Amino acid sequence: MSAQIDLRDVGQVFQVRGNDDKRKRDFVALDGANLTVRAGEFVTLVGPSGCGKSTVLDLIAGLTKPTSGSVSVDGRPVTGPGPDRSIVFQQYTLLPWRTAQANIEFALEAVGGWSKAERAERALEYLDLVGLTEFANRYPHELSGGMKQRVAIARSLSYEPGVLLMDEPFGALDAQTRERLQEELIDIWRRTATTIVFITHDIEEAVFLGERVAVMSSRPGTIHTVVDVRLDRSGEAAEDIRGTREFAAYRHEIWSLLREQRSAPRSVRVEVASVA
């Protein structure tokens, strides 16, 4: 059910207006980005703000077309959005006038292929997967941030996409909720075997979740290094994984790689106001 993703020499150029004149000019957001995510793999994507992480996700989702190179899923070029790929954003994107269950049923209806009774059954099944059975009839405003994001994840998984794309999905949550959802997500990933690409600003989150961490650089936006994270996630070891020396070493390695990106020459000048 899970699918492989291939980005080959992907370039993305946007047309933007300069500050000085109204003429449009090219802005290179991605240049020569290469990445393969194997079927069933969990890859996290980190990089400086504006380096092109969301652009990579949008390309895989089919929301944008690359200017050059190719993006394919299971060997087929991506030509637009489809139910084989699902995306979860940082902002909760639930319909406020529908209950948790009805939000999922709505997505299933849009994808098509299930009867009304099947949609109801499936919605409950996926709410159960994220531990929200009791909250099926609640409206989004009656749910906490973490619960809303769980519903969004359940909705994304309900039509069994081969690929789950997540753009800083836990960014708006408090640290404790975030950690709990990270653990739940690993559990869900194991049970559904979905291929996951997960963007985060949080290095710990990237190391905790990713079997591999792809580190991006900006100007040009590209996949700079892919770090294999070999941590023992089996049984009891998983619980204390964040406290191990191995975990700290990976965190440091990613941090160093990101710092290299930050210290690259930039055109930004910082003006410091003089204190009289």
Ligand X SMILES: Nc1ncnc2c1ncn2[C@@H]1O[C@H](COP(=O)(O)OP(=O)(O)OP(=O)(O)O)[C@@H](O)[C@H]1O
Residues near ligand X (CB under 6 A) are 14, 16, 27, 29, 47, 49-55
Name which of ligand X, Mg ion, none residue 55 binds, using a CB cut-off of 5 to 8 Å depending on partner kind.
Answer: ligand X
Smallest distance from the beta carbon of 146 to ligand X, in angstroms? Answer: 21
Check: CB of residue 44 under 8 Å from CB of residue 206.
Answer: yes
Which C-beta is closer to ligand X: that of 126 or that of 198? 198
The number of helix segments (H) and strand segments (E) in the chain equals 7, 10
Binding segment for Mg ion (CB under 5 A), chosen from 6-14, 48-56, 84-92, 177-185, is: 48-56
Closest CB to ligand X among residues 47, 140: 47
Which of Mg ion, ligand X, none is residue 77 near (CB under 5 to 8 Å by kind)?
none
CA distances for 219 relative to 32, 172, 202, 275, angstroms: 11, 27, 21, 34
Give CA–CA dist 187/27, Å, rounded.
40
Assigned token pair, 48: 């400086």
Point out which residues pair with 8 in neighbouring strands: 70
Could you tell which of ligand X, Mg ion, none binds residue 51, using a CB distance below 5 to 8 A set by kind? ligand X
Site for Mg ion contains 194 (CB under 5 A)? no
Q: How far is the CB of 142 from ligand X (least distance, A)?
A: 29
Q: Please, which residue, 48 or 162, has the CB nearer to ligand X? A: 48
Q: How far is the CB of 134 from Mg ion (least distance, A)?
A: 33
Cα-Cα-Cα-Cα torsion 162, 4, 78, 29, nearest 10 degrees, comes to 110
- In angstroms, give the least distance from the CB of 201 to ligand X: 6
Provide the minimum distance between the beta carbon of 54 and ligand X in the complex, in angstroms, as a whole number: 3
* Cβ proximity to ligand X, 5 vs 102, nearer residue: 5
Q: If contact means CB under 5 to 8 A according to the sort of partner, which of Mg ion, ligand X, none does residue 108 touch?
A: none
Chosen from Mg ion, ligand X, none, partner binding at 115 (C-beta under 5 to 8 Å by type): none
Residue whose CB is less far from ligand X, 127 or 214: 214
SS3 call for 252: helix
Tell me the two tokens of residue 51. 């380096």
User: Which pairs with CB-CB distance under 8 Å and at least 24 residues apart come from 57-64?
Assistant: 57/87, 57/165, 57/167, 57/197, 57/199, 59/7, 59/10, 59/12, 60/5, 60/7, 60/85, 60/163, 60/165, 60/197, 61/85, 61/87, 61/165, 63/87, 64/12
Minimum Å gap between C-beta 55 and Mg ion is: 8
Closest CA to 28 of 49, 63, 55: 55
The entry of Mg ion, ligand X, none near residue 52 (CB within 5 to 8 angstroms by kind) is ligand X
Residue 50: CB minimum distance to Mg ion, A: 8
50-69: which residues touch Mg ion (CB under 5 A)?
53-54
Residue 15 neighbours by CB distance under 10 Å: 8
Chain positions contacting Mg ion, by CB under 5 A: 53-54
